[in-house]
Structure 1
Amino acid sequence: MSEQTNERRYSQLAWAMGKTGILGYGGGPSVIPLIRFEAVTHYRWMDDEEFGEVLAIANALPGPIATKMAAYLGYRQKGILGSIVAVLMHILPSVIAMVCLLSFVEYLSNSEVVQGMIAAVMPVISVMLGVMAYEFAKRAYKGLGRIMVVVFCAISFALLQLVSIHPAIVIVLFLAYGAFHFRLAERLNSKAKKTEKAEGESS
């Protein structure tokens, strides 16, 4: 890989993560659709399936979700140095803003203008998260079928809202089932192919 290509990849990481740090208003969940856009849609560093898997694992691990996603993307593209660049560029906008606005925090927290801005942004964040959830649900529908998607949604709702199990535990449980499900599906497909081959040879 040429030096120019290396520099371009670093600049892409820096620019993409810098944008998510600046525009990711409202904390980790609101940043995820922005990171997905940069990683999947814009630069095509990965597909939706891999992004969903990484997001699930990152949710199960301790720490800020957006920072973990930035670290993974950077490491995936340019190793440890890429991970450092991605994380720094993601958190620097917030750090700089906090330092610059520290003396105005008390005023801004009670400002009607700021409260109005927060109220105006919340629907946008909700729509972004809703669109991402819909796209993941559509992929789950293709992979598992409508009945299984409805069943899993009901189970996850019950575990999270009624039983109040920690989300990380629920994610780990579903990851474990996913591994079992696809391994079982591969075995069944393999047996079906062998059976078809044997029938073809006998005929």
Structure 2
Amino acid sequence: MSQLKELPQVSFAEAAQNVFKKMFQFKGRIRRSEYWWGVLVLTICAIVLSLIPFIGQIAVLFLYIAATSMLFRRLHDTGRSGWWWGCQFCLGFVSLIFFATAIDFHAYMQAVAENNSTELIKVISDGLTGTSGVIGLIFYLLASILGLVLFALTLLDSKPEANKYGDSPKYVAENVAEE
């Protein structure tokens, strides 16, 4: 008879190594401890790298890819597809497009050039209260709600059994002798 045994949590050092070793690995599963230690590592690296002009910003893009990879694997560990993130990304992108079409950029840039904050606020509020702005706000709200759902999903425990994304990184089957 086999019984599930829980493996020890992933250490900070091991998680930091795995962040960079598995930067482009979107398949498989990742434990909560490895995910959250990895998030901490990526946050620290992003803060430090963002202080370096130009090259730092490019490096932060690679960190974003690593974070997305970790999120995919974390979702896989809970038995869900990485497309949950894809849906959130698409909703956010659509909201950005609607916001971009809602605001009169010529008037916006003129207000910025004149340093006229009253006119700047008027241009933005006119854009956001128009049809495109309202639709953009709705898509932004949906993306934000889905972001909260994704956050909650990262907090869920691993599925103890193997799923279509691989074996559990947290639980292993241990043979127990019957008496």
Same fold (TM over 0.5): no
User: Which of the two has greater helix per residue?
Assistant: 1
Whichever structure has more strand as a proportion of its residues is: 2
Pick 1 or 2: higher relative contact order, CA cutoff 8 A, min separation 6.
Answer: 2
